[in-house]
Chain A
């Protein structure tokens, strides 16, 4: 089999790390972009809001392995702030990382994928981008914007052999849900049809499926969310 090359942002922890592990296990070469060092074959410490740095890291992976076949954008963070108290800086930073980081990474891989005539992009969004949320409306808004971006980019790339889709996780058992998070409370879990958090490996399995066999998905949002949003 030809070597397949994946670029994963946010690869140092949580969902990004799970995606990187699952892809490696399936034989992919994985370049991990993160603020921190990631346990990937090609770890690059990069701030996804830095467009040039992201492009340089992606170009480096392409130069080393000869192609860029998959982009997974998982870099992100959350903070819980009531809407009236979200400062301009908080709002701007959230959009810059979640939406801007996704845009920067897509801009970096697309020239390579267009030249190849093939590629897949899977942007990690969130069920909160589908159904909204309270106490982190900037996060929900930015994730919703990622979904809109994915749908538009998918149409733009549909004729180029490049698929663009999103995975919108539900409450997932990662460090993003800190101890004491309301999403870990038994009262909340009891509202989930599945009665448990999503496992990061389940998000990774969905990403791997889209990358390897999701050839007719175009701008879709797959949401492994334990039934939180149906």
Chain B
């Protein structure tokens, strides 16, 4: 099996202040990565996480092209380059298609899809010089099978999947492999968006989701973090442009 990184790999995880990003950063640190945790704003949660995992907190709004450039420059100054990018940040708002104004509709595409595109652009030169890199884009089941009242979110996540496949094709020959994870319901604060749309409590939305999932429960953030850890591990180097779907079987049954 080809070796991977000649140093302690530096991982950049976006959207890391809470939920899935928090779990991913924690897992990657546990697995021996030096982890830079990013979120849109500085917060105690973000800096506490960095302290806990021996990493570094760098706040930046990934929807802002200049902020992305500055973020990656800061990493480059301190650590040379980024070995592992986990683009986990996401904006989500739900409303029936015609009820959502163009501005909030496009904002989700801007954050989720264009922000990720610019992040990849920014980390690529360093990965190219290093001759190795792992890119994991956190997509969503909504990008595979769609989701009612979430057209913008689904479009952005579907775009991420196509971006993953294309980057996989384009970059693998350079030792930089790109894959995506498309989770379904994960037990994170983001479920509040679904709960608000349905007009129910977060506990109710979890129960309703679990009832529709063949495995009878929703995912833990740690389960999705484990998938991420696998994709950036040495043994996963021949997965290229793939979309992993740890979803409890729900693509079959989702309403």
Contact = CB atoms under 8 A, between A and B. Distances in A.
A206 B235 contact: yes
Given A195-B172, A195-B173, A201-B1, A215 B239 contact: no
A213 B181 CA distance: 15
B238 A199 contact: yes
A226 interface: yes
Nearest to B240: A227
B243 to A, nearest CB: 9
B242 A230 contact: yes
Contacts, number: 116
Contacts of A220: 244-247
Given A220-B244, A226-B238, 12 more contacts: A155-B249, A158-B214, A193-B173, A195-B173, A205-B235, A214-B246, A217-B247, A219-B252, A220-B245, A222-B239, A223-B242, A227-B169
Interface residues of B, number: 38
28 contacts: A154-B249, A155-B249, A159-B216, A193-B170, A194-B173, A194-B177, A201-B1, A202-B238, A205-B234, A206-B235, A206-B239, A209-B226, A209-B235, A209-B236, A213-B230, A214-B227, A216-B224, A216-B247, A217-B244, A218-B250, A220-B245, A224-B238, A224-B239, A227-B168, A227-B169, A230-B165, A230-B169, A230-B242
Interface of A: 151, 154-155, 158-159, 170, 193-195, 198-199, 201-202, 204-206, 208-209, 213-220, 222-227, 230
A216 B219 contact: yes
A170 B249 contact: no
A158 B248 contact: yes
A216 B177 contact: no
Given A205-B233, A216-B223, A230-B169, A222 B238 contact: no
Nearest to A193: B172
A23 B250 CA distance: 29
A216 B215 contact: yes
The 3 closest A-B CB pairs, nearest first, are A205-B235, A218-B249, A227-B240
Interface of B: 1-2, 165, 168-170, 172-173, 177, 214-216, 219-220, 223-224, 226-227, 229-230, 233-242, 244-250, 252
Interface of A is mostly: loop
Nearest to B230: A209
Given A158-B216, A193-B169, A201-B1, A213 B239 contact: no
A213 B245 contact: no
Given A193-B241, A195-B172, A213-B230, A159 B236 contact: no
Contacts of B252: 151, 155, 219
Greatest chain A CB density within 10 A among B242, B244, B249 is at: B249
A83 B65 CA distance: 54
A18 B1 CA distance: 12
Greatest chain A CB density within 10 A among B229, B230, B250 is at: B230
B214 A155 contact: yes
A159 B249 CA distance: 11
Contacts of A218: 214-215, 247-250
Contacts of A204: 235
A14 to B, nearest CB: 15
A213 B249 CA distance: 16
Given A202-B1, A219-B252, A194 B226 contact: no
B235 A201 contact: yes
A92 to B, nearest CB: 31
A195 B175 CA distance: 10
B22 to A, nearest CB: 18
Contacts of A213: 223, 226-227, 229-230
Contact of B239 (A151, A158, A219, A223): A223
Contacts of A208: 235
